Structure 1
Amino acid sequence: MALPKPAVGIAAIWVLFILLIAWVVNRFANGEAEIVRKIVHIGTGNVILLAWWLDIPPSVGITASILASAITLLSYRFPILPGINSVGRQSLGTFFYSLSIGILIAWFWYLQQPQYAVLGILVMTWGDGLAALIGQRFGKHKYKVFGAEKSWEGSLTMMLVSYLVSSLILIGTQGNSWQNWAISLLVALIATALEAFSFLGIDNLTVPLGSAAVAFFLSQLVL
């Protein structure tokens, strides 16, 4: 199959555009590293939608994931991505983020069920991203899970956004049925629980993989 170069180019331009915005914000945000991280987190995650809509081959997504994972690992030692990995805590979240995209593309593109990869990535992209921002800005009611401090406001945001994302994708691809609404609710609950266990940034791996797996296997079971 010929490589759809225009489609790949569009996806690449989108990622570069997001990185440019992050660089500008990092340059003038006076230490607001978390804002920079979430711009990249949310902005680049949406490239999975372009890959789905433009039917980009899985080999392209997997290769991009491997390269991004390698760059992020190097960036923990060298200042390749200043402002993105500076979170004030020990974390491999950026690496896990890149890795999860490659795993989900390898899994579901080859099954010709890309909607589950998209679901998993967007639950992480929007759910986890907005949960962190809301939790840090408005989180007044704290709780701890194995030493990691979370807020109920952030967790509620995670659950609501995950439910919305899952519902839109499952109903859009599998039809408006009570099963899809129920699966979306379970995905949201499990994604929220996984996000709470976020030591070393592992939630950037467990949330997308767990969300996609739950949606996929439950859909095979009840639909």
Structure 2
Amino acid sequence: MLPTNYLISLVIHDIILAATCYVTGWCVLRYQVRVNYTRKINHFLLMLIPFVLAWWFPYTPSLATTVTSLVGFVVMTGVFAKPIRDRVPLVATAFAAVDRPEDRPHTLAWILSQAVGAYLVIIVVFSMLRWFDAAELVAIPLLVNGIGDGLAEPIGVRFGRHRYHVPSLAPGRCYTRSYEGSACVWLTSMIVVLGLLPILSWPVFIGLIISIPPVMTLTEAFSPHSWDAPFMYAIGGACIGFVLLITGG
């Protein structure tokens, strides 16, 4: 049986995300706002709203809640399928908020596959950290991806002057990221670990503050375009587990 507070949070989260997606999509179509910005607005909300709602509707995460969230996301995103958006203008407007021109025609496939991969990795990472009795540390890769990677693209688009090439899931395509954007991941990693200082032992804190910023930054830098979340969760989780192992937790 799913917790009532979880179900309330899920409904509120999905309503806010759907409304924001429509409004930002309308801004793209009406005012030519760059999709790089509107996509990351939705990225922020997708990752951060659950943390905010947890203050008002606390519940204990479990395999059931994680799987339900994944199924809900796949169903909601599946509404963006071309046969539907071609017939429903409201859906087409919402899709405009996440449909980067450089991702076409793979936009929807990459969004869905990244989400499934990310959720599966989080299940493994959460289970591993719970074994260490440190399940709360799953917030590190979640927040670094949600905030750091969320800021990396718009900062890179607006201020990025020093660029480097990144791989792609689509053969024959070349994408770039910027050192300015990558710096957002580094800074966010530092802030997230510092924010957890009150619940960390000094050996664990020192291990994380030394390892997490470079590991997460390099992972984001070299992950395939539009598929960085699963890699950041997996490698970030492995890094946390290694620190807990060598420090004794």
CA distance in 1 between counterparts of 2:111 and 2:212 reads: 21
Query: 2:218 aligned with 1:193, yes or no?
Result: yes
- Read off the aligned partner of 1:86 and give its amino acid letter: D
Task: Please show how residues 132-171 of structure 1 align to structure 2 within 5 Å.
Answer: 132-146=153-167, 147-169=174-196, 171=197
Identity %: 21
Residue pair 1:93, 1:200 contacting (<8 A) in 2 also: no
When the two structures are superposed, what TM-score results if normalisation uses the length of structure 2? Answer: 0.75
| Residue in 2 that maps onto 1:174 | 200
| Residue in 1 that maps onto 2:145 | 124
Runs of 4+ in 1 over 6 A off after TM superposition: none
Change in Cα spacing, 1:212 to 1:12, as seen in structure 2 (3 Å) is farther
| Residue in 2 that maps onto 1:36 | 38
CA distance in 1 between counterparts of 2:124 and 2:223 reads: 24
CA distance in 2 between counterparts of 1:28 and 1:145 reads: 29
Offset at residue 45 of structure 1 (A) = 0.5
CA distance in 1 between counterparts of 2:112 and 2:185 reads: 19
Residue pair 1:131, 1:157 contacting (<8 A) in 2 also: yes
When the two structures are superposed, what TM-score results if normalisation uses the length of structure 1? Answer: 0.82
Bigger shift: 22-31 or 155-164?
A: 22-31
| Residue in 1 that maps onto 2:88 | none
CA distance in 2 between counterparts of 1:35 and 1:72 reads: 19
Q: What do residues 127-184 of structure 1 show as CA deviations (whole Å, max 9, x unaligned)?
A: 1001111111111122224543121111111111122123323x24323x15413313
Residue pair 2:10, 2:69 contacting (<8 A) in 1 also: no
| Residue in 2 that maps onto 1:24 | 23
Cα RMSD for the two superposed structures: 2.8
Query: 2:234 aligned with 1:209, yes or no?
Result: yes
CA distance in 1 between counterparts of 2:207 and 2:15 reads: 37
CA distance in 2 between counterparts of 1:21 and 1:65 reads: 19
- Read off the aligned partner of 1:133 and give its amino acid letter: P
Residue pair 1:22, 1:40 contacting (<8 A) in 2 also: yes
Residue pair 1:120, 1:208 contacting (<8 A) in 2 also: yes
Residue pair 2:24, 2:97 contacting (<8 A) in 1 also: no
Change in Cα spacing, 1:26 to 1:86, as seen in structure 2 (3 Å) is same
Which runs of 5 or more structure 2 residues have no equivalent in the other structure?
86-90, 168-173
Aligned residues: 220
Which runs of 5 or more structure 1 residues have no equivalent in the other structure?
none
Q: What do residues 171-219 of structure 1 show as CA deviations (whole Å, max 9, x unaligned)?
A: 24323x1541331331121111111124341212101221122112211
Change in Cα spacing, 1:195 to 1:208, as seen in structure 2 (3 Å) is same
Bigger shift: 109-118 or 206-215?
A: 109-118
CA distance in 2 between counterparts of 1:98 and 1:167 reads: 30
